[in-house]
Structure 1
């Protein structure tokens, strides 16, 4: 029984190593399969972060088209990801693939959904005459505050009648 307790940490360590190597082999096999599925015309991202289109696939190398007149030869294992056509176009060309028509598009702000032309004009004119109650030092106080002008400012306790 005592020898089993002393061997238990080694058994656990060996089991953990086996599990880690299995998962690493599985990831490597997935990467190899992904690289073997490359074909001319596929969009790819290299491990350095460069986006290009596959022009030619050889046994250990890949010829990439990175732009007009720019062809680069990369090792096959330097391809980080093979991208779908939609994802490649979205990243490289900024083209969003949308299944809906443009008529069904949702505007960025909700104001265009609720306002009519008349209410938009009214809102624009209302924005011009916003008065927040602040007065300049040059202006005379209004009639309601003229009676309250004392040498000492009026103190309030912060209740609902405070201005």
Structure 2
């Protein structure tokens, strides 16, 4: 056989070997990371939820997703085991060692307009506001609005 025809097959087999080898390494690293979990460790699931490990079983792990709320997950659903400092920074917002160079956006817009005078006076009394005439009469029986449209009254079969 010609070496030129066998060369693509050899390259393909070598690439498959390298891909399976790197996949096995990743699986072993993930398994080792999951074995490092202990109760009280902060973790991130593959879905992106942060929780604290409460109990570790053979194939499952019990996570505290909120204070007093426990959920059972498969061990292979743990995406990362976090150290205490990183977990507290992400979950509790502890920023002791974190420096922020960007300006902080306020929670409300009131601080963005501080010092400016309002362009309209919103402090008018309700008595000063103009009233709309919607065509309704103040007292019953003042006009044609109280008469039936078809000329009938309650209990009559015909018109007036």
* TM-score range for the pair, normalised by the shorter chain length: 0.5 to 0.7
User: Normalization by structure 2: what TM-score?
Assistant: 0.60
**Root-mean-square deviation (Å):** 2.1
Q: State the TM-score, normalizing by the size of structure 1.
A: 0.59
Per the alignment, residue 33 of structure 1 pairs with 32
Q: By how many angstroms is 1:95 displaced? A: 0.1
The match for 1:87 is 86
Q: How does 1:7-156 map to 2 (within 5 A)?
A: 7-98=6-97
Give the aligned partner of residue 128 of structure 1: none
Are the counterparts in 2 of residues 86 and 97 from structure 1 also a CA contact under 8 Å?
Answer: no
1:4 aligns with 2:10: no
After superposition, what is the alpha-carbon deviation per residue over 1:4-59, rounded to whole angstroms, capped at 9, x for unaligned?
Answer: 11100100110011001000000000000000110001000011111000001111
More helix by share: 1
Deviations 1:109-136 (Å, cap 9, x if unpaired)? 9xxxxxxxxxxxxxxxxxxxxxxxxxxx
Separation in structure 2 between the aligned mates of residue 60 and residue 48 of structure 1, nearest angstrom: 18
Closer, same or farther: CA 26–107 of 1 in aligned 2, 3 Å: closer
Aligned length: 103
What are the ranges of 5 or more consecutive residues in structure 1 without an aligned counterpart?
Answer: 100-104, 110-163
Q: Distance in 1 between matches of 2:35 and 2:94?
A: 27
Q: 1:56 to 1:4 in 2, by over 3 A?
A: same
On the 8 A contact 1:45/1:80 being kept in 2, the answer is yes
